[in-house]
Homo-oligomer: A and B are copies of this chain.
Amino acid sequence: MAVDATTDQVRWAPPRLAIIVLPFRLGASGLEAAYLREPGGDRLMSAVPGPGEPLDDAAQRISHEKFGRSPQYVEQLYTFDSRPGAAREVVVSYLALFRQDALEPSAGDGMRWSDVTSISLNEAVHRDVFDYGLMRLKAKFGYTNIAFHLLPESFTLSDLQLAYEEVLGHPVDKRNFRRRMASSTILERTGEMRRDGSHRPAALYRFATRDDQAAYLTPSWAAASLSSSSQDDDEP
């Protein structure tokens, strides 16, 4: 509930305002989130927005500060507040997606990337943000092109399929997946090939549109993943 346990206690009767950012990437161990390993327990990254700084900008900024690189995609998740009784604290949470080629955090910050299945956060609000963000990410994989923001500029269809499998948490049929991608208009071939092993080279693709809203994909094949965690809304 207290987002910033380390700083001042009830200083303001007026609300304290903080943002929490939940960063994801596709790393070696699949879908990974970044968190802060601290003496008191694991936490997500949080910040107090500057005066006059829009919340969305603050989410962008703190991501940049921690990782030296802006996320590919930032989206507001939900606004939590403190449990009744405590001094009010309002926490606006954000999802941030990074590409695989995102830099490692500087060690001094204590940020760690870990597989989403092996993160256990200490404070309730942080857990809520994590659970909800993960659910929402999975849901959006089912019906938007949000996957793009986790992949580098160009990639193979196998890369893309793997991204889906890692996020959705279940395997996807190769031929059906490729047909679906082909019949959507969101991919185009770069013309390049990638040779990276003792096997046939793979065609490289890029996304044909920068538009996040556009290009919805079909839902049902992702359904198995929606039965995960907490919260209300949207998502699907």
Contact = CB atoms under 8 A, between A and B. Distances in A.
Interface of A: 1-18, 36, 38, 46-55, 57, 61-62, 65, 75-76, 78-79, 81-88, 90, 92, 136, 140, 143-144, 212-213, 216, 219, 232-236
A232 B76 CA distance: 9
A234 B235 contact: yes
B18 A15 contact: no
B75 A6 contact: no
A12 B219 CA distance: 44
Contacts of A51: 12-13, 88
Contact of A236 (B16, B85, B90, B143): B143
Main secondary structure of the interface of A (DSSP, over half): loop
A231 to B, nearest CB: 9
A41 to B, nearest CB: 13
A79 B52 contact: no
A214 to B, nearest CB: 11
Nearest to A61: B2
Contact of A3 (B5, B92, B140): B5
Contacts of A144: 236
Contact of A14 (B9, B17, B76): B17
A7 B50 CA distance: 14
Contact of A6 (B36, B54, B234, B236): B36
Contacts of A75: 232-233
What 7 pairs between A and B have smallest CB-CB spacing? A14-B14, A234-B234, A5-B46, A79-B79, A1-B50, A15-B17, A4-B5
7 contacts: A3-B48, A5-B46, A6-B38, A52-B87, A52-B88, A54-B82, A76-B232
A142 to B, nearest CB: 10
Contacts of A17: 14-15, 17, 88, 90
Nearest to A13: B51
Nearest to A18: B5
